[in-house]
Amino acid sequence: MPTLRPLPAEPDPNADQASPAAKGQAADPQKFAVEVKPSAIDGQGVFALQAVAARRKIGEIRGESVSTAEAFKRAKAADKSTGRVFMIAVSNARSVDATASADPLRFANHSCVPNMVFKVQQGRVAFYALRDIAVGEELTVAYGPTHHAGRLACRCGAPGCAGSL
């Protein structure tokens, strides 16, 4: 009859190491508190909960890297349904689809006189304050050329609004 012996204790591979979650997770790219709520411009917008000084980084949008051809396809499909998309070209060939992203800045509406500017950094989209932004202001960005090619009416309400995007 075999005798049962307790197995020698195996060394814990995770001992003396930071937890994998803490190690592998990128820091939250959101630098300033914001809230997403209905906007007078369009749908949901993102609003500052903290004052932001000019040129400070506000946050980033992370998303799925897709080919620009795929991005156009998805944007057109969303136009036909009621779905909304947030797609941004990071180069001629690649785009970021942030539709499923949890980053609040994906709700940033277009304004012809925006208070943010975005910069593409390593396939991520980072937003910076163009001027001092007060608590409660809606955070807006100039989308630049869109797949709407000027057929969508702009409701940003800014003096000097181009009227379409």
What residues make contact with Zn ion under the rule CB under 5 A? 112, 154, 156, 161
> Nearest approach, Cβ of 108 to Zn ion (angstroms)?
14
Give the nearer residue to Zn ion in terms of CB position, either 95 or 111. 111
| C-beta separation of 80 from 67 below 8 A | no
Give the nearer residue to Zn ion in terms of CB position, either 123 or 157. 157
> Nearest approach, Cβ of 66 to Zn ion (angstroms)?
28
> Nearest approach, Cβ of 47 to Zn ion (angstroms)?
18
According to DSSP, residue 2 is labeled P
> Nearest approach, Cβ of 39 to Zn ion (angstroms)?
13
How far are the Cα atoms of 35, 114, 155 from residue 139, in angstroms, in the given order?
A: 10, 8, 15
Euclidean distance between CA atoms 165 and 22, whole angstroms: 42
Between vectors from CA 133 to CA 146 and to CA 143, what angle results, nearest 5°? 5
Give the nearer residue to Zn ion in terms of CB position, either 112 or 129. 112
Give the nearer residue to Zn ion in terms of CB position, either 66 or 161. 161
Euclidean distance between CA atoms 21 and 59, whole angstroms: 21
Euclidean distance between CA atoms 150 and 135, whole angstroms: 31
According to DSSP, residue 147 is labeled T
Residue whose pair of structure tokens reads 């012996």 in the numeric block: 5
> Nearest approach, Cβ of 162 to Zn ion (angstroms)?
5
Give the nearer residue to Zn ion in terms of CB position, either 123 or 144. 144
Token pair listed for 79:
């136009």
